[in-house]
Amino acid sequence: MAANEEKQQGHRAGVYKQKNKGHKHGKHRTKGEIERENKGRVSVMTLTKKQRKELRKMDRRHKANQLRKTKKDQVLTEKRRLGSRDGPPHLVAVVSLHANADAGAVSKLLRGEGAGGVVHLERCVSGVGDSFGLIMPRFKQRFTFLNQSTDDMHSLLDVVKVADSLVFVLDSTEGWDIYGDHCLSCLFAQGLPSHALVCQGLSDISVKKRVDFRKALSKITEVRFPDSRLFPLDSDQDATLLLRHLGSQRQRKLGFRSRRSHLLAERVAFTPNGPVEGSGGGGPSGLGTLRVSGYVRGRALHANRLVHISGHGDFQLSQIDAPPDPLPLNLTTVRATKPGRGRDVEMQDGDENEAPVRVLMKADPSSRESLQVEAEVDPMDGEQTWPTEQELLDAEEARKNKRVMKVPKGTSDYQATWIINEDEEEETDEESSDDDDGDDLMDEAMDGEDEEGHSQETDSQAASEDEEEEEEEEVCSTERGGADQRYDDNIDEAAEEEGLKRYREARSHELFPDEVDTPLDAPARIRFQRYRGLKSFRSSPWDPMENLPLDYSRIFQFQSFERTRRRILAEAAADEDGAMDGWYVTLHIIDVPFSVMESVQSGKPLVLVSLLPHEQKMSVMHLLVQRHPSNTEPIKTKEELVFHCGFRRFRASPIFSQHTTADKHKMERFLKPDAPTVVSVYAPITFPPAGVLLFKQRNDGVQDLVATGSLLSCDPRRVVLKRIVLSGHPFKINRRSAVVRYMFFNRDDIMWFKPVELRTKWGRRGHIKDALGTHGHMKCVFDNQLRSQDTVLMNLYKRVYPRWTFDPYVPPQLPWFKKEVTIAMDDLDME
């Protein structure tokens, strides 16, 4: 009976039955299945979403469409506003990229009557001779054209910073020359606005060859401008099409200028200050008030903000006036005067002076930004008022055990304390001797190469080479004597020697990175007393506030630079107080040197920019740059360079370091050509984004483009470590230990550096166990047996800082192609 009941019920699985996972068929559960499984239970995330009133699918779609339409309308409004009645005139700079391209002919064709425009102003940009204001009644737009020469690179970069559009004039066969390509490299690195490519001379070519010429020129231009259209400019119809394109093309936004108010000076006047007691009266050499008139572009301009004049410095405003607009878009007057006498409409000089000038805003001295650049330094900050008993005992003991040295007769004890011994001078002047470490290693390496090369020469080869040289000298002495002499006159021997020295040092650093020789005449523990060892460069701690230099007391620091940047840019975008975008204003800038007026009178454009809060204060700025391919000379750290950062340009001596995400960064002795490098320098604060250009000035005044990049951050706490590597040779090798020599030369140095970890070029790790004898031999233990050709290394680090050599004055540079063209013409005459 029991057996039959068990047969009817079947087998029951026990507690240890294996339960396999269900098959993952890839299908997701529906919302209904999830609700049935939850049985009314609601998660916390769902409750919070309901409280936030999350929109449904159709509502989200409608909201996205509304945002898209709002942004599109905003872009169209900004585009239509440029050059219209409510906005500033469309500022167009005409730039020639080839020596045979005539930018003046392009300007002449654009201002002609056949193009459909009316010239309303002549020489409308202060400092630029070939500039004019153009009104287009047909398009209801107004333009300001200026012909900017490429000879002065500083002026070219300043004009491009504020220009709305660029017109590049190309040659019909070559496009641009070498110097034109150099100018394009600088402009692309700084930030290129909207542009148009123009070519003249295509109408002179036969119709059959015209298509081939345009294809060849388009193939050249697509390297730099892949999506740009090439405009022929040989007739009035071509000029009209170009003007239509400039007025309707999409404007490219540049971050560093769209967030700041900027202005190109159209009229400049200087009024010297009144006589000051003891100065002999005001004059051209003193300070004065500079009145600059122009159209406000970008953001609103406030009188309490500082203004920066490119190339001259930061200044304060006293008031902002609103004179009449010199280029009004009055279509009725323009149409009536255009077909009449067929001449340009000119504005009389007395119009602006006779019309009433309205004062927009006066600066408030209590809320105006100050010109404070550096922090106030208290030399007694952190000092003790009275020495402790231990310090008195130490001073007494040091006085008893002071070293006796020879001094001149009649020298007192106080005067003798100021006489620096040679050993102390080596300790204090460690920075300069650090830079010479690589020079000694370089000289030894190069001497070894020279001896090896001389040992391979035989006497017979030397004799045959002497005979050949004598024959060549006899033949060439009469023909090339004058040519060689003329070529040598154009070479700077001091610059050649300096370049050779720098090249050898860079080559030595590439072969033996960071390796230095231990001095024989000085203890290593004294010579490298500022260095320390690290167990791990990545994870070992390093306090960023430890042993800071005195220059750090002069700079400013943010608790969070990124948070401050976002807040200031948001406040600047929402600020609508002051002179708005498109207004024609006159700025009264106080305490300006007369040199600014001299620069304008010499024919250079004047560019002003309104600074954001804190942008006049000094700090440690970090720039991320990439070495330019045209530069082949080695650039050493702490070498003086010329910087173009946003609207500023200055000279400084930076340090180079690796671009990593760690808390410590290794210093680079030279600017690497194949990797991005961080450049750290003492400079005024600038909020990114901003383009960066680095130039190196030659002895003859020519500046070569070294690197290009962008502004990274402002962070004085960024730790940059300089590494030196001490090397030793294994003398005796055992299974796990080895006797190493030539790393140190006395027992005390070995015991001083005993805690520092050792490594080898073949990847072995170890440490110093004990010193053997008194001549620098030491017993070292490694994780594996060494090879006889291996080298034992010790890494030491110290923190480095930039040099305070900031100079806001940058001398005008010469176009580098003029000297090369002169040398080429001399060679042509000799031939």
Residue 753, pLDDT score: 93
Mean pLDDT of 673-684: 93
Q: Shortest CA distance to 644 belongs to which of 710, 555, 595?
A: 710
Round to whole Å and give the CA distance between 144 and 265. 12
Name the CA dihedral angle for 668, 670, 673, 679, rounded to a multiple of 10 degrees.
60
Query: Domain for residue 110, yes or no?
Result: yes
Torsion sign over Cα 156, 158, 161, 165 = negative
Q: Please give the backbone phi and psi of residue 229, each rounded to the nearest 5 degrees, phi first.
A: -100, 140
CA 116 vs CA 113, 238, 818: distances in Å:
6, 11, 39
The lowest-confidence range among 42-46, 245-249, 255-259 is 42-46
Per-residue pLDDT for 283 more than 80? no
Domain C-terminal end among 254, 285, 311: 254
Per residue in 77-114, pLDDT (tens digit) is 777 777 677 788 999 999 999 888 888 888 888 888 77
Residue 813, pLDDT score: 72
Say if CB 326 and CB 349 are below 8 A apart. no
Domain count, the chain: 2
Pairing of strands 719-733, 737-741: antiparallel
Residue 607, pLDDT score: 93
Kindly state the percentage of the chain with pLDDT values over 90.
35
Per residue in 16-57, pLDDT (tens digit) is 888 888 777 777 778 888 888 888 777 666 556 555 666 778
Mean pLDDT of 564-573: 91
Place of tokens 């008194």: 774
Query: Domain for residue 383, yes or no?
Result: no
Residue 102, pLDDT score: 87
Residue 442, pLDDT score: 43
Residue 417, pLDDT score: 61
Residue 122, pLDDT score: 75
More confident residue, 369 or 425: 369
Query: Domain for residue 774, yes or no?
Result: yes
Per-residue pLDDT for 622 more than 60? yes
Say if CB 792 and CB 729 are below 8 A apart. yes
Neighbour tally for 377: CB within 10 Å: 10
DSSP symbols for 207-225: HHHHHHHHHHHHHHHTTT-
Query: Domain for residue 372, yes or no?
Result: no
Place of tokens 């210093």: 667
Residue 427, pLDDT score: 46
CA 719 vs CA 541, 545, 711, 747, 799: distances in Å:
11, 10, 18, 33, 7
| CATH number, domain with residue 747 | 2.40.10.190
Residue 450: pLDDT band (50, 70, 90) is very low
The lowest-confidence range among 334-343, 564-573, 594-603 is 334-343
Mean pLDDT of 215-240: 87
Mean pLDDT of 465-485: 56
Pairing of strands 677-684, 664-668: unpaired
Residue 261, pLDDT score: 92
Residue 711: pLDDT band (50, 70, 90) is very high
Kindly state the percentage of the chain with pLDDT values over 70.
76
Residue 823: pLDDT band (50, 70, 90) is very low
The lowest-confidence range among 187-196, 312-321, 394-403 is 394-403
**3-class SS of residue 730:** strand
Say if CB 321 and CB 359 are below 8 A apart. yes
Residue 468: pLDDT band (50, 70, 90) is low
Query: Domain for residue 621, yes or no?
Result: no
Place of tokens 């017109």: 167
The lowest-confidence range among 384-388, 680-684, 689-693 is 384-388
CA 195 vs CA 88, 146, 169, 231, 332: distances in Å:
18, 14, 11, 11, 31
HSE at residue 709, side-chain half, CA atoms within 13 A, is: 21
Domain C-terminal end among 224, 239, 254: 254
CA 24 vs CA 17, 33, 35, 195, 750: distances in Å:
21, 16, 21, 58, 66
Q: Sheet with 90-96: list strands edge to edge.
A: 118-122, 131-136, 141-147, 90-96, 165-170, 194-199, 230-232
Name the CA dihedral angle for 818, 823, 828, 831, rounded to a multiple of 10 degrees.
180
Per residue in 508-542, pLDDT (tens digit) is 666 778 888 888 888 999 999 999 999 999 899 99
More confident residue, 148 or 351: 148
Query: Domain for residue 667, yes or no?
Result: no
Residue 407, pLDDT score: 65
Query: Domain for residue 25, yes or no?
Result: no
Residue 352: pLDDT band (50, 70, 90) is very low
Mean pLDDT of 68-73: 88
Mean pLDDT of 668-673: 90
Residue 414: pLDDT band (50, 70, 90) is low
Residue 814, pLDDT score: 66
Residue 477, pLDDT score: 54
Q: Shortest CA distance to 672 belongs to which of 712, 629, 640?
A: 629
Residue 509, pLDDT score: 62
Structure tokens at 382: 């952190």
The lowest-confidence range among 446-455, 673-682, 809-818 is 446-455
Domain C-terminal end among 190, 223, 254: 254
Prior bond of 689 cis (ω within 30°): yes
Q: Shortest CA distance to 138 belongs to which of 168, 118, 111, 153?
A: 118
- Sequence-separated (6 or more) residues with CB below 8 Å from residue 672: 627, 656
- Structural domain boundaries, residue 761: 524-538+721-799
Mean pLDDT of 281-295: 77
How much is the pTM?
0.73
Residue 694, pLDDT score: 94
| CATH number, domain with residue 103 | 3.40.50.300
Contacts 24+ apart (CB under 8 A), 753-759: 753/524, 753/525, 753/533, 753/794, 755/533, 756/533, 756/794, 756/795, 756/796, 757/533, 757/535, 757/794, 758/782, 758/792, 758/793, 758/794, 759/792, 759/793, 759/794, 759/795
Round to whole Å and give the CA distance between 756 and 219. 60
Mean pLDDT of 119-134: 77
Structure tokens at 470: 């004598």
The lowest-confidence range among 4-13, 307-316, 638-647, 761-770 is 4-13
The lowest-confidence range among 30-44, 296-310, 601-615 is 30-44
Mean model confidence pLDDT for the chain: 80
Round to whole Å and give the CA distance between 339 and 336. 7
Residue 383: pLDDT band (50, 70, 90) is low
Query: Domain for residue 370, yes or no?
Result: no
- Sequence-separated (6 or more) residues with CB below 8 Å from residue 618: 373, 374, 554, 555, 556, 682, 683, 684, 685, 806
More confident residue, 51 or 267: 267
Beta bridge partners of 222: none
Q: Shortest CA distance to 586 belongs to which of 271, 808, 145?
A: 271
Mean pLDDT of 347-352: 37
Residue 469, pLDDT score: 54
Residue 656, pLDDT score: 95
Per residue in 129-157, pLDDT (tens digit) is 688 888 888 888 888 999 988 888 899 99
Per-residue pLDDT for 403 more than 50? yes
More confident residue, 467 or 185: 185
Round to whole Å and give the CA distance between 336 and 345. 11
Structure tokens at 606: 């004047």
Round to whole Å and give the CA distance between 596 and 280. 21
Q: At what angle do helices 481-489 and 816-830 cross, to 10 degrees?
A: 170
Mean pLDDT of 666-685: 92
Per-residue pLDDT for 218 more than 70? yes
Per residue in 645-660, pLDDT (tens digit) is 989 999 999 999 999 9
Q: Shortest CA distance to 347 belongs to which of 321, 323, 379, 365?
A: 323
Residue 51, pLDDT score: 57
Per-residue pLDDT for 359 more than 80? yes
Alpha helix segments (H runs only) across 249-403: 255-258, 331-341, 350-354, 389-400
Round to whole Å and give the CA distance between 749 and 518. 10
Nearest 5°: CA angle at 482, between 479 and 484? 95
**What element of type H or E holds 598?**
helix 594-601
Place of tokens 């950062």: 645
